[in-house]
Chain A
Amino acid sequence: MIQLILFNVTNGLMIGAFYVLMALGLSLILNLSNVINFAHGNFLALGAYMAFMLTPVVGFWGALLISPVLTALVGVLVELLMRFVYRRDPVYSLLLTFGLAFVMQDAARWWWGPNPLQIDMPEVLKAPLSPDFFFITWYRVFMVTIVVATVIGVFAFLRYTRLGLRIRAGTLDLDTVSALGVNVRLLRTLNFAVGCLLAGLSGVLATGQIGLNPNMGDDLLMPSFIAIIVGGVGSLTGTLFGGLLIGVAAAVTAAIYPAASEVVIFILMLLVLLIRPRGLMGEEGMLS
């Protein structure tokens, strides 16, 4: 019994960890640039495929470090394109990232083929912790460690660095930040890059969990949106808890009644919005 509960909660936290990484990146971009990045799932896939190409050369550990950075660099290029639409109606930025998502997904399918691929994991990561808890492999422990470290890192970055401070200030009032002499264009670019870095990192981590395929990020995109809505737009802490909450909710439902596991996160969102329209930790007036 205890094993079953543990199994589902671990699964939930595991999935939730992906949601959190994805949603944090999306949320950073949404808060500062007011853009919903539909292509975020494709940045995740990009990170994963880069890791696939890099692993034979620099090993898995090297790929884990390098491919998120490369993904962030691609993000910088994409952000240059986004500059054309910041000042326009949100419909244009949405359509732009939507089109980009199509192009990136098709490019991945064309380049690496439609079939799932596998990455060579170090042997250490494949082994389970103990025979009793067969479902907790070292990979999962390692993954959760990385996610926790990354989340702490992101929050520390926003809290204690000058750049982080500017990003937070820009989230509240970009015009004033600009008037104070901060290069807002650069700020947006760097912020977009950080968001893509997180997506790339979750892509590398996802290779061991859900495998590589051209639309591997698609299934994570919608839950990430919901994590942001449930947590409340404008609050990264909210996004964090939102991601974990819907991850656990989905996993527990999957254990009890598998058919409803995808619908349950939407029901959760409906309930939250009914009771608290701004989301769990959202700020009133944010983005409205």
Chain B
Amino acid sequence: MTATVITAERQPAQRRWLPRAGIWLALLTAPLWLPLLGGYTALAGKVLVFGLAAMGLNLLLGFTGVLSFGHAAYFGLGAYGAGLMLKYVVPSTPLAMLAGTLLGGLAGTLFGVLIVRRRGVYFAMCTIAFGQIFYYIAYSWNEFTGGFDGLRGFHREPIGFGALTLDITDGTRFYYFSLVVFAAAAALMGLLIDSPFGRTLRAIRENERRARFLGIPVERHIWLSFSISCFFTALAGTLYALLNNFADPLALHYSLSGYFVIMAVMGGMRSFWGPLLGAAMFVVVQDYISSMTVNWMSFVGLMFMLVVLFFPRGLLGMLRRRGSA
């Protein structure tokens, strides 16, 4: 077991940077080649947003080994936090993103205290139930959140740096803005995972009992991991609100949590970039299917079942296994 872990993490330098360069190149040039393939820039934006959310979730799911099925709540809180800030308080994009991220992240941190004492499916069940609170609040509080129709009446504002102004109202520019945010968040996540803290999380994933005997405060680490992943997911949520200039209750619903989980699993939840690839596959497939048929739910549901039954390691998991074999 330990031997495989070591080989998986210490690959030759060349094999490590090549895929990374490919991912960044694809992301940087997406607005150029995506329209040629019949896509549109907002689709790439969606991949980035969901990819960031799924990567945030994966800190918990893949790297700590704890299953949350309620991350849509913190994603949606990020979206609503940003939207409400823009609509009611100040028309400033950075402040809106800060507000949304703090709202979602702090809510996750608080709820985490109650949830982390549980494990396995019971943990998952608590995350679902806790997450749905915000869905019902957004759904019933018509005057403030727009209820079922969602929150409208705000739009992303140009960002001013002193004399310079960055206009992100245009779609492609907003994509690059999202990419910068995404890159910063991904770099932070990478540092975190490679830090002693990140290695402790993986130790808990591999053998919780042994980690406990080594004197690691397991509950506190899982709580921190939950909290941090909620902050990243909430950040993705703020980008989602800015992308659509809209926030709807479905961004809080547990179905979206399920989507995040399948993105992470489909791409490969043991790898850093897996969730991003999973998000790309999911967003493209869903976009394509829902434009083709009204029965898209069946196809998405079947996709879930097929991935679970036949591709449980995800794309990168399979590639890596083939590479090492």
How many contacts A-B (CB < 8 Å)? 131
- B261/A102 in contact, CB under 8 A: no
**B137 at interface by CB-CB < 8 Å:** yes
- Do A94 and B141 contact each other (CB < 8 Å), given the known contacts A36-B121, A101-B301, A225-B128? no
Give 1 or 0 for each of A72-103: 1 = CB within 8 Å of chain B CB.
00000000010011001111111110111111
Instruction: Decide: A96 near B308, CB < 8 A? Known: A36-B124, A103-B298.
Output: yes
Interface positions, chain B 53-79, Cβ under 8 Å from A, are: 61, 65, 67, 69
- Contact flag A90-B297 (CB < 8 Å), given A225-B128, A277-B114: no
- Are B125 and A36 touching (Cβ within 8 A)? yes
| A186, chain B: closest CB distance, angstroms | 22
> Could you say which residues of chain A place their CB within 8 Å of the CB of B126?
229, 273
Task: Closest A residue to B309 by CB, please name it.
Answer: A84
Q: Roughly how many angstroms separate A91 CA and B126 CA in the complex, as a whole number?
A: 14
Which of A10-18, A104-112, A199-207 lies at the binding interface? Answer: A104-112
Q: Does A2 sit within 8 A of B, measured CB to CB?
A: no
Q: Mark B302-325, 1 if CB is under 8 A from A, else 0.
A: 111101110010000000000000
Q: Which of B113-139 contact A (CB under 8 A)?
A: 114, 117-122, 124-126, 128-130, 132-133, 136-137, 139
Which listed residue (A85, A102, A229, A260) contacts B125, Cβ 8 A?
A: A229
Q: Which residues on A are within 8 Å of B, measured CB to CB?
A: 30, 34-36, 81, 84-85, 88-96, 98-107, 109-110, 222, 225-226, 228-229, 233, 259-260, 262-263, 266, 269-270, 273-274, 277, 286-288
Report B's interface with A, CB cutoff 8 A.
61, 65, 67, 69, 114, 117-122, 124-126, 128-130, 132-133, 136-137, 139-141, 254, 258, 261-262, 265, 269, 295, 297-298, 300-305, 307-309, 312
List 7 tightest A-B contacts by C-beta distance, closest first.
Answer: A99-B304, A102-B301, A103-B301, A106-B297, A106-B298, A99-B301, A99-B305
Subset of 16 A-B contacts with CB under 8 Å: A36-B121, A90-B121, A90-B124, A91-B124, A93-B121, A95-B258, A99-B302, A102-B300, A103-B297, A104-B301, A106-B298, A106-B301, A222-B128, A270-B130, A287-B121, A288-B118
